[in-house]
Structure 1
Amino acid sequence: MNYYILADRFLLEGGEKIGGYLKIENGKFGDFANTIPEGSDVQDWSGYTIAPGLFDTHIHGVNGHDIMDGTVEAVHSISASILDQGVTRFLPTTLTSSSSDIEQAIKAITVATEQGLPGAQSEGIFLEGPYFTEKHKGAQNPDYFKKPNLDEFNAWQKLAKDSIVKIALAPERGHTMSFIKDVTATGVQVSIAHTDASYDCCMEAVSNGANNYVHLFNGMSGLHHREPGVVGAALTDQSVFAELICDGHHVHPDIATLAYEIKKEKLILITDCMRAGLMPDGDYQLGDFKVFMKDGIAKTVFGSLAGSTLQLINGVKNLQQWSGKPLYEIWHKGSLSPAHSLGISNKIGSISKGKVADYVVLNEFVDIQATAVEGDIKFKK
């Protein structure tokens, strides 16, 4: 499918391009042009802005479905449901559970992906757990916490047909450093999460290959001036990425802005959304825990935040409003930074010649009007 996009504004990595035509050729971005050959196929989005598709690297579920349902239907539903949020790529994310439940989720993701996803496309599986510690467990079930086990992970990776691209763990657990080194040597990214690790422990984990901190400020030891903790390690190390949930509940707006000012291009906007996303207030399930959502905030019976119900487009809007930074700058924290963190920014994440033509159409209020995956418009308002 070859055509041109005509629009008022394009959000690029280094700024905005005003006006012109953008060529879409065989599902990839081509060159910009001021004039085009007569008779060319044109998608006329005059009056609108074109931005790269968003990439949610941490999402458990939405619209009544969850990855831990362990069904192909759930994976397909999540893929379709996040299109109108501007998300074109995602990492189906598991959580701590029994080995059999994790294996069933892996099977479902693998089969669903092989069948072909109807909306946003998977860039691989993210295992959030089960190698965590209890103090900052959040909504992860401590009954299944354990030490990292390379044989177990390799069995999961075989089941996934090598599609596991990221795993989160607590680095203070036994055998963790050798596990990090072995896993990252195969190309899998390791994230630090649900942990009470010291600053030095985190730095050792990074030296062994860890490159990301999951939902910064949540599920981790806080910042102290004599023991910087996990938060201190995440903020002071410019070599690593950090996820941020910008719903205004998980992190105060001013602290979210501070994190952005410090991390810059290493900040990744995520949702950590669970099945209650896009659903009305009420009772839901997250793994083995009952969750109650009120006013869009999901919590366990223990009072812990249980993931979020955030839409990624709203996370972008929130941080842009809180920080006052240009939209193109904040937008790429939800598209290009996630791609960078996984080493696939040469393929996706920004409007650049040769990259996959994942894009969204925005109105003046930054509302999604259309979403295209590989140049094919999958959602139109």
Structure 2
Amino acid sequence: MTSLLIHGARKLDADGVVDGFWMHTSGDRIEAVGTGDGWRERIDAVEAVQPADAVAGGVTGPDAAGAVIDAAGRWLTPGFIDLHGHGGGGHSFDDGPEAIAGALALHRRHGTTRSVLSLVANPVPSLLVALETIAVLADTDPLVLGAHLEGPYLARNHRGAHNPDFLRSPTPEEVALLVARGRGHLVQITIAPELPGALEAITAFVDAGVVVAVGHTAADLALTKEAFDRGATLLTHAFNAMPGIKHREPGPVVAAFDDPRVGLELIVDGFHVHPDVVKMAFLAAPRRIVMITDAMAAAGSADGHYRLGTLNVSVTEGRAMLSGTATIAGSTLTQDAALRWAVEESGVDPVLAVEALTATPARTIGRADDLGLLRPGFAADAVLLDPDWTVTAVYAAGRPLL
């Protein structure tokens, strides 16, 4: 069994800011938390499962059994949760287990401890194979939360960086097939509710325990509200790949603002959504914003040419576009960078910004009882950050990742 004891931290989560905070983990759970010097009474519990040099000197590496860590006033947050990302570190989640491992390693170094793996539109047989691959990983790695199908049920006129050849309308038979192949690990699906059969598909996916997001859509306010009444509870990367807010045509974003059941994904990188619009979203839907990366393979890698599914992507100065077009093709974002953008450029309260990376995504996927907060009984996922929001250490399921 592993054990960690972090003390002297400035705790920051959805419960607020607490100085002089300490946290003791046992195995993959948080055992106890407190403030002041109470942590000293727990050193023996750590030493019992820990080499003496590691207790004295801090974490000795990713295989260390445990450690006593002086946070020295650094921020301590829950581990970040990314509900929507396609890859990173030069790798794509569509490309099999080795590529998935490479991409996850990049994001874990930047504080993302739990990930939903997003798949772009592809032929259904290819999606079935990818769902099976992710299901196998999720069975063995608790840090992999499951799969997100961002397609194939998207509107052609708002398809973004999805191959139009693979877009289609849902059928009951196909919905049942996708759910079955996910083996309980299909966490989320994005659907354009105007497609034939889409509203019925929303109901079927929700009944199967899948989080349905409205996105890549031309839906108006009324149709989006109908999708929410059918059980959709998320808006895929709000403002992007959907109608904007017009004074006589409010569109899907306003429908989501108005519905307390619905979360709104935001890509906070200073490019996808203007910093002032980010601030507006946090004010309009407090505690319902989910900051995602929507990252593709170039995240954490160099500018150049990449693939997103079957499409070519060119990345210049960190901005990913379909080659030869002005169409955005995901991001090169990591969640620590999103936190810095939100706080420093949009002026979002740090508590709300961290909540949008932790407790809100956990609640969105039905994991509010064990992910996203630094409380006893919750997963031992945590991130230490310097005052400038630079990640200095990452812990997941009670073990150091960085």
Q: Provide TM-score, normalisation by structure 1.
A: 0.94
Matched with 1:61 is: 87
Count of residue pairs the alignment pairs up: 375
Contact (CA 8 Å) 2:303, 2:317: kept in 1 or not? Answer: yes
1:275 to 297, 304, 324: 297
2:311 to 283, 286, 289: 289
Contact (CA 8 Å) 2:111, 2:391: kept in 1 or not? Answer: yes
* Alpha-carbon offset, residue 59 of structure 1: 0.4
1:37 to 25, 36, 41: 41
Q: What does 1:112-131 correspond to in 2, within 5 Å?
A: 112-116=137-141, 121-131=143-153
Matched with 2:61 is: none
Question: Which whole-Å deviations, capped at 9, do the CAs of 1:48-97 have from their partners, x for residues lacking one?
Answer: 2211000010000101111122x111122122221111000010000111
Bigger drift between 208-217 and 72-81 goes to 72-81
Q: Structure 1 residue 15 and structure 2 residue 16: aligned?
A: yes
Contact (CA 8 Å) 1:75, 1:108: kept in 2 or not? Answer: no
The percent of aligned pairs where both chains have the same amino acid is: 30
Matched with 1:372 is: 395
**Cα gap change, 1:27 to 1:223, in 2 (>3 Å):** same
Contact (CA 8 Å) 1:138, 1:306: kept in 2 or not? Answer: yes
* Alpha-carbon offset, residue 115 of structure 1: 4.7
* Alpha-carbon offset, residue 209 of structure 1: 0.4
* Alpha-carbon offset, residue 258 of structure 1: 0.5
1:48 to 67, 74, 87: 74
Contact (CA 8 Å) 1:257, 1:322: kept in 2 or not? Answer: no
Aligned residues: CA RMSD: 1.6
Bigger drift between 34-43 and 208-217 goes to 34-43
Note the residue ranges of structure 2 that are not aligned, 5 or more in a row.
47-67
Once residues 307 and 112 of structure 1 are traced to their aligned partners in structure 2, the CA distance between those partners, rounded to angstroms, is 24
**Cα gap change, 1:116 to 1:236, in 2 (>3 Å):** closer
SS at 2:131's partner residue? helix
Stretches of 4+ moved more than 6 A in 1? Answer: none
Q: What does 1:198-347 correspond to in 2, within 5 Å?
A: 198-300=220-322, 301-347=324-370
Matched with 1:147 is: 169
Q: Provide TM-score, normalisation by structure 2.
A: 0.90
Matched with 2:65 is: none
SS at 2:253's partner residue? helix
Once residues 332 and 9 of structure 2 are traced to their aligned partners in structure 1, the CA distance between those partners, rounded to angstroms, is 32
* Alpha-carbon offset, residue 278 of structure 1: 1.1
Once residues 339 and 38 of structure 1 are traced to their aligned partners in structure 2, the CA distance between those partners, rounded to angstroms, is 29
Q: Structure 1 residue 98 and structure 2 residue 123: aligned?
A: yes
* Alpha-carbon offset, residue 374 of structure 1: 1.1
* Alpha-carbon offset, residue 38 of structure 1: 7.0
Question: Which whole-Å deviations, capped at 9, do the CAs of 1:272-321 have from their partners, x for residues lacking one?
Answer: 00011111111111112111110000001221000000111111111111
Contact (CA 8 Å) 1:7, 1:50: kept in 2 or not? Answer: no
Question: Which whole-Å deviations, capped at 9, do the CAs of 1:162-195 have from their partners, x for residues lacking one?
Answer: 2101110100011111211121112111100110
Contact (CA 8 Å) 2:244, 2:253: kept in 1 or not? Answer: yes
Q: Quick one: which amino acid aligns to residue 123 of structure 2?
A: S
Q: Quick one: which amino acid aligns to residue 133 of structure 2?
A: A
Note the residue ranges of structure 1 that are not aligned, 5 or more in a row.
none
